[in-house]
Every structure is written in structure tokens, then in C-alpha cells.
Amino acid sequence: MFLCSFTSSVFAKDRGTLIFEDDFERNESQEIKDEIGKGWGSNSRWRAAGNKQVDLKNGAMYIFMHKDADHAVSVTHAAEFQDGAIELRFMLEDAKDSLGLNFADLKYKKVHAGHLFLAKVSTRNVELTDMKTGGMDLKNRELRKAKTVPPALQELLKAKRKRFPNQLKTGQWYTLLVDVTGDTLTVSIDGKKVGSFSSEGIAHPTKRTLRLSVPRNAVVDDVKIYSRVANGK
């Protein structure tokens, strides 16, 4: 659950109650290891031999994959809601960069590492994926690892992902809104809807953790997490 006080909560139309926000306007005490603060964590200790992969500077969070890392950078924060939204500003500095918003529930043991669904933004497209009933389902994942996925499952897994063409410029700030309503995931950039995808895994009753997944580099600022009662009631 969130540690922040609800006395300062605000209500934003179509988003819900603001339960967490961070503008990253703070300094670190050292420059060797991740020191994000305000409840954020990362996988740098066990995936990058403890090397720094998150840097707070210029009032923003710079995420970069260390050369010794064996996995994409994962920057995490509690985000407990059923329906809700994530709003943030982001910048991709290279054409090959991307930013994923990975929603997870580590208490749900039928999927690998709690993976539920993902909204991934690159300079060329937005990709929405149901991982809970797709590739991260433990049975499906074992078949994929063994390379014994039957044709019917191959078709099912294809149906668990949808891609929307969307061109972004490098070195430019954008505002991203990822909305979760029932079984539907919707992404808007700078107030313009890019795409929606409906799949049963998105309706998982409790999203507990937000993971910012970065396989190369990304810059993030002004993160806001909203929660609302399912069906808007």
C-alpha cells in the first residue's frame, strides 16, 4: 500500500484519485549506486552488479542500462489499484530507445514474476500486451522456453498483443497517459489517443506494482498514479 497521505489527494476528471506523484526535484548523496528515494526501487543490485542505472539530475529521472547488466532496467513503485491511470512525462534520446510501463502483482503466482500487462512506447510505435494470459503464464512460458509451443497457442499468443504505429522525435518531451479500465488498456500521448487493447489479463483485480522497463535509455519526469473505483462508482 502507499505510504503517502490521502489528505493531499486530488481528483482528476477521467483519471481518479491521485495517490502518488513525484517530480524528482531532489539530489542524491552519491553517484555510485541508485538512490532514487520516495519509495522507488530498481533491479540494479542483482541485475547490474550494483552499478548505478538511475540518475536524478535536472529535476528528472534518467534511466540507463549499464554495460554489465544482464537484464533491462526495472524501476519500481507501489501502484495498488483495480482501475486507474499512470501519467508521466518522458523523453527518448535515441531512435532505438523505449519505455515500458509494466503492471505487476507479485502475490499472483500463476505468472512469471507477477507480470500482468505492458504498455511499451518507442519512437516508432506503441505496443500493448496481456502477459497474464499470454507469454508470462507459467505453463505458456515453459512451452516457449522449451520451444514446443503448439500452433493453437502460437495464435493465442499473437492475439495477446496489439501494436499501433506512432512516430516520436528523439530529444523531445512527451506526456504519456496509460489508462486501465476493466479489461481495456488505453494509451494517449500529448492528449491524443494512440490506441486501446482489451484482454482478460488487464482486468486482474489488483495491480500492485508499476515497473518502468528500460532496455536501453529513457528519461522520466512528473509521474502521477491515479486510482478509481471499478466502473467509476
pLDDT at 4: 42
Q: What is the mean pLDDT of the chain?
A: 93
Q: Full-prediction pTM beyond 0.75?
A: yes
Query: What band does 12 get if pLDDT is binned at 50, 70 and 90?
Result: low
Q: Is pLDDT of 6 > 50?
A: no
Residue 8 burial class via C-beta count within 10 angstroms: exposed 0-12, middle 13-18, buried 19 and up = exposed
Which bin fits 182, alpha (ψ -120 to 50), beta or left (φ > 0)? left
Residue 24 and residue 56 in contact, taking contact as beta carbons nearer than 8 Å: yes
Residue range 151-206, pLDDT digits in tens: 999 999 999 999 999 999 999 999 999 999 999 999 999 999 999 999 999 999 99
228 φ, ψ to 5°? Answer: -145, 155
Average pLDDT for residues 17-43, to the nearest whole number?
97
pLDDT at 145: 94
Residue range 87-127, pLDDT digits in tens: 999 999 999 999 999 999 999 999 999 999 999 999 999 99
Closest CA to 74 of 226, 220, 222: 220
Residue 160 and residue 137 in contact, taking contact as beta carbons nearer than 8 Å: no
Closest CA to 210 of 30, 22, 29, 50: 22
pLDDT at 231: 55
158 φ, ψ to 5°? Answer: -65, -35
Query: What band does 14 get if pLDDT is binned at 50, 70 and 90?
Result: confident
